[in-house]
A and B are shown apart, each in its own frame.
Chain A
Amino acid sequence: MVLAERENLLAAGHRACPGCGAAIALRQILRALGRDTIVVSATGCVETFTSPYGMSAWEVPWIHSLFENSASVASGVQAALEFLQEKSSVVVISGDGGTFDIGMGAMSGMFERKQNITYICYDNEAYMNTGVQGSSATPYGSSTTTTPAGRASFGKIQHKKDMPAIALAHDVDYVATASIAYPQDLMKKVAKTKEIYGPKYIQVHTPCTIGWGFDSSKTIEIGKLAVETGLVPIYEVEKGKPMVVKKVKNKKPVMEYLKFQNRYRHLLKGEQKDIADQIQAICDKNIERFGI
């Protein structure tokens, strides 16, 4: 596998917030995919900031129609390419809302049909485009505008949905998690999908400066901490092979990650400290379960 040296397929002039993790994800994903790719996106941050009419940042063919149907649109694109006997890669790039919540049925259908499509979720852990509302990808204890911390609330009560496990339950050909903070790993995984025929799922952890509340220069730093604490496990499962997990040598306490982000600010105070302990327990469990 050879990546096109510094090929850039996301043009400058897009309207992502300064320090946007999703824009970094897009650049890395497109670099690994190359030009012979058709991208389908759900409604969301990426769709909005890349596609003002007449000022599209996409340098590959790109289609968006609605929030909940990107996997189904991709199914149609893939079927059409098969009919035309063309071989371009068909790749969905959708956010966690479009993947974990509203578009999950369509994605499940695409997986079940065993179509040759790569589904990439850029996971910024809430509905950022509409103003940071909670999604089923929002992690435990995180404050969003619809799971706000308050006198009687510590933020989101439920745990993050385990979407890669759901993808694996469909017996798809390749499932991986990645982070924009580890671009070589991410690009290697994305490039690998081009060699595997069938449905593939990659979930990319994508920090969001506005939604999570950290300085725009810290996007990568935060992304690294999420991995180094064990909160976001990085692994891949190629069908028929054992899971490969990214090991972390010097694991950091989760507080190192939480304390930089406004969405966890309420946990730093005394009375909700036990919630932070529970998040540490999630990390510990991940470390044990995945052998991080």
Chain B
Amino acid sequence: MIGAVCKAAGSLQYKTGTWRDNRPEVNDNCNGCGICETFCPDSCITIENKKCIIDYDYCKGCGICANECVRKAIVMREERK
């Protein structure tokens, strides 16, 4: 588009999940409280059926979700590449 104007949400084409060194994994302690979703910088957590779902296409593995989870329901594990 002229003037470098562009459409919304085109960033979804760019899969930032490849940046990840550590991978958050959700265990049974999760009750879907949503703290992790509120603090996720990368818009890659959703809460469905009282459980947090991580979109690994975009998760950069920062570890904030695991650090902030009060129920210790998210554990960071080294990414196997």
Note whether A and B contact each other (Cβ less than 8 A).
yes
CA distance A208 to B68 in the complex (A): 17
A220 touches B8 (CB 8 A): no
Tally inter-chain residue pairs, CB-CB below 8 A: 116
Q: Once bound together, how far apart are the Cα atoms of A46 and B9, in whole Å?
A: 15
Question: How far does the alpha carbon of A221 sit from the alpha carbon of B66 in the complex, in Å?
Answer: 12
Interface centre among B20, B42, B44, B46 (most CB of A within 10 A): B42
Contact between B47 and A15, CB atoms less than 8 A apart: no
A6-B34, A19-B62, A27-B43 known; 7 other A-B pairs, CB under 8 Å?
A: A13-B15, A16-B42, A19-B60, A19-B63, A27-B40, A216-B64, A219-B62
Which chain B residues lie closer than 8 Å to A59 at the CB level? 8-9
Known: A18-B62, A55-B10. A23 touches B16 (CB 8 A): no
What is the number of residues of chain B that contact chain A, defined by CB distance less than 8 Å?
37
- Which B residues, 27 to 60, have Cβ-Cβ distances below 8 Å to chain A? 34, 37-44, 46-47, 55, 57-58, 60
Residues of B with C-beta under 8 A to A8: 43
Q: Which residues of A contact B44 (CB under 8 A)?
A: 12
Number of interface residues of A (CB under 8 A): 37
Whether A217 pairs with B64 at a CB distance below 8 angstroms is yes
Q: Which residues of B contact A53 (CB under 8 A)?
A: 4, 6
Q: A56-B7, A56-B11, A57-B9 are in contact. Are A11 and B43 (CB under 8 A)?
A: yes
